[in-house]
Amino acid sequence: MRILVLLVLLTAGEVFACTTAIISGKVTPDGRPLLWKHRDSDQFNNKVVYEVGPRFRYLALINSNDPEHHAWAGTNSAGFAIMNSASYNIKPKSDSARVEDLEGLIMKLALGRCATISDFAQMLDTLPKPWGVSANFGIIDAKGGAGFFEVNNYTYRFFDVNNTNDAPEGYLIRTNFSISGETNKGAGYIRYNTATNLFREAKAAGLLTPEFLLTKASLSLRHDITGTDLAKEAVKTDKIYPFRDYIVRYYSSSTIVVQGVLPKEPTDFATMWVKLGFQPASVAIPLWVGAGGVLPELITAPEQQNAKLCDFTLKLKRQCFPLDSWAEGENYILLSKLMNKDQTGLIQLTTIFDREIIGRTKLLVDRWRRFEFSPTEAANFYLELNRDVQQFYKTHFDLW
């Protein structure tokens, strides 16, 4: 495991914020746990890769220009899924270690080696210290395990989402601070507040589902500290609005949602959803490790090339931030590009298509659960999605 030391200089850190959650199967409609990462990063070009690790095959979200394929979220053939959010209050002031930004490497190692939450804890315990991390690692596994590891260079604490003391609501949310870290330090408290309210409302309605995470939570235009909901403002006017401390933001670069499996259910049924690139401009694509090295062409690319879907979303994103060439211009958005009274905003169009894809995927997965997973059917579905997604962007947006 000395690989950790050898690759320190090759790592690419996740500089900006993320909003994340782990949801116990006890509070989802179908009993399956959920993992959600709304990624914010200065690495705007993301893609998905299929890898073969020492023990398990896996799918990982990576930065497109990273030859080492460090993982920023993913799931493996054992039904183990992991993601992270950077934590800015968990590193003690006495820690002077210079090793840092190894979260992507830690997750790459975990995806290739770990089947359970216990495996991840054991892996941490055997890695050389300092670990080079300051993060909240969210995990679900095929045994029903789910929770967050809050980790610094030398220690960690696990918060069990199935434990009512740790997670009285049956889910845990993390932004850019750790509960076990220094009080009132770190970042992301405003996003945490909004996410907490969104999740409470979704639970009360019985809607803690992949669709909620993909089409509501990751696209939320609410700011619950100010009481602002830009989705309501959008139908009234065509103005540039201040756009800071919302869950979705200028630096939003991808969303990953993993729907796990029931205990004793085949791990092939675990579904990893990805909205690649700027989420309001992106669409949700379902993926399965059991399909093997076959992936939809739109969400992957060889070597250090960019994924087409990510390119599509970044072109559309530029229209949303007309002041991004100004200092601090990224904090101002032309709201009508996201939502408008004509129902032609990015969120309005992509959400309709997302729901169509989610419905088609559910029919496919329900059939697999009655019979067995079919790599051939998965590959054929990928071909359909490649065709239909490209037609969607060609029909609605001037990208060609």
- The string over 287-296, giving b where at least 16 C-beta atoms fall within 10 Å of a residue's C-beta and e elsewhere, is bbbbbeebbb
Within 10 angstroms of residue 305's Cβ, the number of other Cβ atoms is: 13
C-alpha–C-alpha distance, residues 90 and 84, integer Å: 14
**What is the pTM for the complete model shown?**
0.95
Q: For each of the chain's 400 residues, which pLDDT tens digit applies?
A: 444 443 443 344 445 689 999 999 999 999 999 999 999 999 999 999 999 999 999 999 999 999 999 999 999 999 999 999 999 999 999 998 988 999 999 999 999 999 999 999 999 999 999 999 999 999 999 999 999 999 999 999 999 999 999 999 999 999 999 999 999 999 999 999 999 999 999 999 999 999 999 999 999 999 999 999 999 887 777 899 999 999 999 999 999 999 999 999 999 999 999 999 999 999 999 999 999 999 999 999 999 999 999 999 999 999 999 999 999 999 999 999 999 999 999 999 999 999 999 999 999 999 999 999 999 999 999 999 999 999 999 999 976 6
Q: Which CATH number fits domain 3-396: 3.60.60.10, 3.40.50.1100, 3.40.50.2300, 3.10.20.740?
A: 3.60.60.10
Cα 36-379-30 angle, rounded to 5 deg = 40
Token reading at 228 = 């602002």
